[in-house]
A and B are shown apart, each in its own frame.
With several copies, the nearest count.
Chain A
Amino acid sequence: MNGNRVTIRLFARLKDIVGTGELSREASSDATAGTVWRTLMNEFAELRDYETSISVAVNEEYARMDAPVADGDEVAFLPPVSGG
């Protein structure tokens, strides 16, 4: 099969941990935002700090971790915010 590919966006300390703010990964056809996140945590152990605090957006909309992701989607992982 041709694997689906998703674009992953990372911010703040997540970006420092992974070394880039944007990367591309394959995702299975039944992948969810959570699947993508767990794959990334396996690759970058320091991300485990965010296991309970991470938020996710799919295609620039807030989403839940069980939201499905499709080929070409942008999946953004957001650490706790500190604007203002």
Chain B
Amino acid sequence: MSDNRATMDTAPYAITTDPLNLDALITAVTSGSPDATIGPGGITSFVGVVRNENAGRRVLRLEYEGYDPLALRAFERIGAETADRWDVRIALHHRLGTLQIGEASVMIAAASPHRADAFAACRYIIERVKQIVPIWKHEFFEGGDVWIEGATADPEDDVARQDAIRVAGLE
């Protein structure tokens, strides 16, 4: 988390092999917008980090692969879905390449005048990332390696989307 090489990409959406930087996302959702009549009151964030364990396996590292242009479009789609439902500004960055245990693979920030919106949006976004963004993790564990396969990447699957809305909850 405290990697000195951390970049400062304040774009709302990013896919990069560089270490992620939470300050950059917070800047992305709070800076500018002088026309906002009501500024942010709460900022939520989510950082996904490579865990040392998965399904009983001792994980050594992960290698993330993505279909970058389509993944960025999926980010934009998720952003539009989020804006339709909650009063938030969001940022979403995902890292690709080789990640060690404890390194951040994904960061999300959501700023809103209302903390309920910021929490719900942040949770919704990570669920949707796992559902529809064309990124894959290749897990290297003690004794082997495996491609992790999760959700079928169908952005039009409304059952999945409703499930993400339900998990985001509360609203």
Contact = CB atoms under 8 A, between A and B. Distances in A.
Chains A and B touch (C-beta atoms under 8 A apart): yes
Nearest to A81: B153
**Most A CB within 10 A of own CB, among B65, B133, B152:** B152
A31 interface: no
B70 A12 contact: no
- What is the interface residue range for chain B against chain A? 20 to 34
A83 B106 contact: yes
B30 to A, nearest CB: 18
**Chain B contact residues: over half helix, strand or loop, or mixed?**
mixed
Per DSSP, are chain A's interface residues mostly helix, strand or loop, or mixed?
A: mixed
Interface of A: 9, 11-13, 15-16, 53, 55, 57, 60-62, 76, 78-84
20 contacts: A12-B136, A12-B138, A12-B149, A15-B65, A16-B147, A53-B149, A60-B69, A60-B70, A62-B153, A76-B67, A76-B134, A81-B132, A81-B149, A82-B137, A82-B147, A82-B149, A83-B66, A83-B94, A84-B94, A84-B133
